[in-house]
Structure 1
Amino acid sequence: MTQLKDKLSEKIQAHRPRTARLTKEFADIVIDKVDIGQCMGGARDIKCLVTDISSLDPQEGIRFRGKTIPETFAALPKAAGSAYPTVESFWYFLLTGEVPTQAQVDEVVAQWKTRQSVPPYVFDVIRTLPRDSHPMAMLSIGILALQRDSKFAAYYNSGKFNKTNAWEQVYEDASDLVARIPVIAAFIYNLKYRDDKQIAIDPKLDMGANFAHMIGQSEEYKDVARMYFILHSDHESGNVSAHTTHLVHSALSDPYYAYSAGLSGLAGPLHGLANQEVLSWTMKFQEKYCKGVEPTKELITKALWDTLNSGQVIPGYGHAVLRKTDPRYMSQREFCLKTPGLKDDPLFKLVSMIFEVAPGVLSEHGHTKNPWPNVDAQSGVIQWYYGVKHWDFYTVLFGVGRALGCMANITWDRALGYALERPKSVTTDMLEKWAAEGGIK
């Protein structure tokens, strides 16, 4: 086994007694209550999922394995000549909770090189789709096409399936998937937006740099890719893409089935598709209100009030959990501010001014629980600046990053033997009866 798989095995053996004890000795301990509003409102805030990969605090934001975003970026070994870590080092960190050495990172990079070769039939399947198909549909179908080679499915069907060791084959599939998904994403980008001018993998490059290379991007974009994929990797388990992946895999569907389903959830406008909607709105806003004029606080304040008074919302502001500015937004903003050219880009200046003004306007308006920007309010601006101007592709970028968290989570799901997810439903008649009685007696 590799150093990463050995370390992961060690971590799993140490963790299993903890979950076994919780299930055996403390299953009846009440940790939360469910009210009718939560039952009818999408199970919001019901504590019924377990993950150690990331946690999300309403005031603090995301922590990956206990570390904030700045702490994560500071701790992990950096890519050569870069201020950002490689995606491979982050993958080691997500799986084990330990900061890898450079030697351990190098091993993961080498492993991903052996795993990143995509079977030609996957590209053939994608090519059969109408060229105007949404790139997220292409990505989901491409991942599903890989299912033929699932090591977990083969192990389950071998007649030798052992649930204690099943995590090892999930790990193999998960590692294959995270190594291959940027190659498939780059193929889709080139197929749709570069007249099918495909660029071969550069065996010398790490994953983020290789993605930039494969879509014909600049040297600077290598850090954009590294940053973007890490920031979008995970956001606890309750979001649609992570939860869907977990749910489908809980039926022992292999990682390809599970993540293809997760990508379908990510494609929704209330989840990952929001990033393209935010950029579209911002550009229309710019055209309507700025028209070449430098955005000022007075101009943007009036324009935002006009927007709200017309019954529209301000996309990219608000979050289901967060009650402060999304740290992922701030990381991308910091990247813009320290990048010559980008910090003076008119679109970034507009987004920056909206950031200064919108929270106050939304707070005064009073119709939002969280007046602060989320990750989607910033991400499209960076892509647009570097020439990735096909915003229906932005969710594909999100999907490449989110694979890291989803695959790390289901590897641990199998390692700890988490159960088939099967919540109990109730009828409206039941709810009305309990409401009239003041609750269940």
Structure 2
Amino acid sequence: MPHDLHYDELRSQIKGLIDYVRQNNAIEPSVFEKYNVKRGLRNKNGTGVLVGMTRISDVNGYTIEDGKKIPIKGQLRYRGIPIDDLVNGFINEERYGYEEVAYLLLFGLLPTEKSLLHFNQLLSQRRNFPATFKEDVILKTPSRNVMNKLQSIILALYTYDDNPDDVSLDKLLAQAIDLIAKVPLMLAYAYQAKRHYFDNKSLILHQPLIEGGTAENILHLIRPDSHFTRQEAEILDLLLCVQADHGGGNNSAFATHVVSSSGTDTYSAICAAIGSLKGPRHGGANQRVHHMMEDIKGHVKDWKNEKELRAYIEKIIAGEAYDRSGLVYGMGHAVYTMTDPRAELLKEKARALAEKTNHVAEYELITDLARLTQDILRERKGDDYHICANVDLYTGIIYDMLGIDEDLFTPLFAAARMVGWCAHRMEQVMDSKIMRPAYVYVPNNNLTYLPIADRTGITQA
């Protein structure tokens, strides 16, 4: 068990310095407007500031007419192909789709049967760790958080790479395939180590399935008995497919572009992306949805009583319930307005799994939550206001139905997005231009240098 850093004592010692941090760093929103700086890289109408170009995927939820956003049905395209077409294609042919999606995102074309078989073989060959890596890197230094452990595992791989700083295209692709193949093992072993060393559970480690795909290997590796059904693997595979990429402007993809533009190594760039995804305003939002749903279940006695449920949702929106943020997690998106295509695809499959696993009541609670939230906000903001259920609203219940712990919610998102990050990294390295945006310097006081003996009025504690 690793020793804690015990920050409480240090925090008490620096208590008197916190006011200086607040006073000398906070910038009011009005200052951004004064200098026409796009706060959060967002335009006034909520659209994203254009900072780059990508051929990998596209996200669209509105059109712009005369400077005004016009809501449309959400669209997600991988290499120009609508996500619906991809998903319906492999579902109708009763195939798993994630490896096909990964091939498409990396190489920019759909694989033939022969090329997909070869790609799957490459992944299967790389589903292993160097000798003693599992013991030395994962089991000897467990973490309470699987996302942070993913970062340390990936950084450790740098040491085992014979030329980790090579940024030639063939090396980047080789590293990409290796990371995509290994990420199921990373998250599974990090999760099992966390359960063993911090939750006092038995340590159960399985070897990967040689013939299994990504979704099958994840379920096999995280479950003590390694058993899973075809339906379970199919819905996890679908979830991985719809989360594989989401344009160049999402926070973690953008982080990948920024860090990669410096010329750094793959392992450092991917760790930056993971750090971004962990945040509750990005990939970590799926945990917020899960917590909120548990809170609703605890406070609404009759889930089918629409009046009671609506009253509690109104409390959440008013900032009087749950975390007092006024947000209904799982509702709304930075780009999508009318619909989130990922949520629409998951919604149908989630219903079928709910019927199979006796979770229909929970599923209907989620759909009622989405509908009532839309009704409440339209009543308050007008009929022109659009808000949709996003992908995070359905991932939580899917994970619950699959018996997957909350510890793995965001790591599974990272497993899905690994291919997107690697594709964006290769795209950025080929551009070979470092990102260096400008900031406006706005000092809040006019300091002049004084000899240390002449400085007064500064309290250190």
Q: TM-score range by the shorter chain?
A: 0.7 to 0.9
List per-residue Cα deviations over 1:336-395 (Å, max 9, x = no partner): 12333257432212101112221111222339965211111110101011211x213200
Q: Report the alpha carbon displacement of residue 276 of structure 1 after superposing the two structures with TM.
A: 0.7
CA contact (8 A) 1:150 1:256 kept: no
CA contact (8 A) 2:138 2:193 kept: no
1:168 alignment partner AA: D
* Structure 1 residue 265 corresponds to structure 2 residue 272: no
CA, structure 1 residues 307+417, in 2 after alignment: closer, same or farther (shift >3 Å)?
A: closer
- What stretches of structure 1 of length at least 5 have no aligned partner? 1-33, 157-165, 431-441
Aligned residues: CA RMSD: 2.5
Name the residue aligned to 2:307: 298
Name the residue aligned to 2:203: 196
Q: Report the alpha carbon displacement of residue 51 of structure 1 after superposing the two structures with TM.
A: 1.1
For residues 377-416 of structure 1, the aligned pairs below 5 Å read 377-388=393-404, 390-414=405-429, 416=430
Q: Report the alpha carbon displacement of residue 70 of structure 1 after superposing the two structures with TM.
A: 1.2
* Structure 1 residue 55 corresponds to structure 2 residue 55: no
Q: Report the alpha carbon displacement of residue 39 of structure 1 after superposing the two structures with TM.
A: 2.4
1:170 alignment partner AA: L
Equivalenced residues, count: 380
Q: For residues 55 and 382 of structure 1, what CA distance do their matches in structure 2 show?
A: 25
- What stretches of structure 2 of length at least 5 have no aligned partner? 1-31, 43-47, 62-71, 196-200, 445-461
Q: Report the alpha carbon displacement of residue 426 of structure 1 after superposing the two structures with TM.
A: 1.4
CA, structure 1 residues 121+384, in 2 after alignment: closer, same or farther (shift >3 Å)?
A: same
Name whichever of 362-371 and 243-252 sits farther off.
362-371
Q: Report the alpha carbon displacement of residue 258 of structure 1 after superposing the two structures with TM.
A: 0.5
Q: For residues 90 and 209 of structure 1, what CA distance do their matches in structure 2 show?
A: 16
List per-residue Cα deviations over 1:301-360 (Å, max 9, x = no partner): 222112223253211111112112211111111111233325743221210111222111
* Structure 1 residue 215 corresponds to structure 2 residue 222: yes
For residues 139-288 of structure 1, the aligned pairs below 5 Å read 139-150=150-161, 153=164, 155=166, 166-193=168-195, 195-216=202-223, 217-219=227-229, 220-288=231-299
Q: For residues 286 and 88 of structure 2, what CA distance do their matches in structure 1 show?
A: 26
Q: For residues 126 and 247 of structure 2, what CA distance do their matches in structure 1 show?
A: 27
CA contact (8 A) 2:192 2:203 kept: yes
For residues 333-412 of structure 1, the aligned pairs below 5 Å read 333-339=347-353, 340-342=355-357, 344-366=359-381, 370-388=386-404, 390-412=405-427
Name the residue aligned to 1:424: 438
1:180 alignment partner AA: K
2:153 alignment partner AA: G
CA, structure 1 residues 137+57, in 2 after alignment: closer, same or farther (shift >3 Å)?
A: same
2:347 alignment partner AA: R
Q: For residues 303 and 153 of structure 1, what CA distance do their matches in structure 2 show?
A: 53
* Structure 1 residue 96 corresponds to structure 2 residue 112: no
Q: For residues 360 and 113 of structure 2, what CA distance do their matches in structure 1 show?
A: 36
Q: For residues 385 and 284 of structure 2, what CA distance do their matches in structure 1 show?
A: 21
CA, structure 1 residues 154+137, in 2 after alignment: closer, same or farther (shift >3 Å)?
A: closer
Q: Report the alpha carbon displacement of residue 250 of structure 1 after superposing the two structures with TM.
A: 1.1
Larger radius of gyration: 2
Tell me, what secondary structure is at the counterpart of 2:59? Answer: strand
Q: TM-score, normalised by structure 2?
A: 0.77
CA, structure 1 residues 88+37, in 2 after alignment: closer, same or farther (shift >3 Å)?
A: farther
CA contact (8 A) 1:123 1:142 kept: no
Percent identity, aligned pairs only, is: 24
Match of 2:82 among 68, 83, 88: 68
Tell me, what secondary structure is at the counterpart of 2:41? Answer: coil
1:200 alignment partner AA: Q
Name the residue aligned to 1:22: none
CA contact (8 A) 1:116 1:179 kept: yes
Q: For residues 342 and 56 of structure 1, what CA distance do their matches in structure 2 show?
A: 33
CA contact (8 A) 1:232 1:398 kept: yes
Q: For residues 402 and 249 of structure 1, what CA distance do their matches in structure 2 show?
A: 16
CA, structure 1 residues 64+344, in 2 after alignment: closer, same or farther (shift >3 Å)?
A: same
2:242 alignment partner AA: L
List per-residue Cα deviations over 1:398-421 (Å, max 9, x = no partner): 01011111111212223x334111
Q: For residues 359 and 175 of structure 2, what CA distance do their matches in structure 1 show?
A: 43
Name whichever of 311-320 and 134-143 sits farther off.
311-320
Q: Report the alpha carbon displacement of residue 125 of structure 1 after superposing the two structures with TM.
A: 2.0
CA contact (8 A) 1:322 1:370 kept: no
Q: TM-score, normalised by structure 1?
A: 0.80
Q: For residues 92 and 349 of structure 1, what CA distance do their matches in structure 2 show?
A: 36
List per-residue Cα deviations over 1:35-92 (Å, max 9, x = no partner): 76872411121111211111111232321111222111134588xxx74533221111
Match of 1:324 among 322, 329, 338: 338
CA, structure 1 residues 306+378, in 2 after alignment: closer, same or farther (shift >3 Å)?
A: same
1:277 alignment partner AA: R
CA contact (8 A) 2:255 2:272 kept: yes
Tell me, what secondary structure is at the counterpart of 1:338? Answer: helix
Q: For residues 397 and 254 of structure 2, what CA distance do their matches in structure 1 show?
A: 28
Q: For residues 299 and 184 of structure 1, what CA distance do their matches in structure 2 show?
A: 43
CA, structure 1 residues 152+376, in 2 after alignment: closer, same or farther (shift >3 Å)?
A: farther
1:183 alignment partner AA: L
CA, structure 1 residues 294+426, in 2 after alignment: closer, same or farther (shift >3 Å)?
A: closer
Name the residue aligned to 2:456: none
